[in-house]
Amino acid sequence: MQDMLVLADAITDTNTLGVRFRDLLTGTVMSVMVAVSMLVTWNKTKSLLAAGAALLGGVALWYAVMNAVAFRDSVGETIKPGGGAPAVTEGRGPAVVRVVEPTGRPWPGGEVL
């Protein structure tokens, strides 16, 4: 029984370490990456507008990383196969036909339609 408790504690400790590592990556590393990208952009362009755009892009990426699970789950709810237009298989379904009347004029390549 003692071995089971030690194993359960090891699993709990590993899980806690993983959560702390994920928080470190999403908190500290992402904020440093956003700041560095903004500073590098400003240093190369000397433009506040470009630096602001880099900041907004970094923050948007950070938001997507922090909410990746919500985005993953919402895709399954939004895209439902077979819910809209009828499925078009190859060789079936509506087609667009273009009719070209011959004009008798040669095109730049010399062909006549």
- Would you kindly state where each structural domain of the chain is located, as residue ranges? 2-78
90: left (phi over 0), alpha (psi -120 to 50) or beta: beta
Handedness of CA 32, 34, 38, 40 (dihedral sign): positive
The one-letter code for the residue type at 92 is: R
- Note the pLDDT tens digit of each residue in 2-24: 666 777 888 889 999 998 998 88
- Note the pLDDT tens digit of each residue in 53-108: 999 999 998 888 888 777 776 665 555 555 555 555 555 556 666 777 766 666 56
3-state secondary structure of 66: helix
- Give the whole-angstrom CA distance, residue 30 versus residue 98: 53
Q: Tokens 């755009």 identify what position?
A: 53
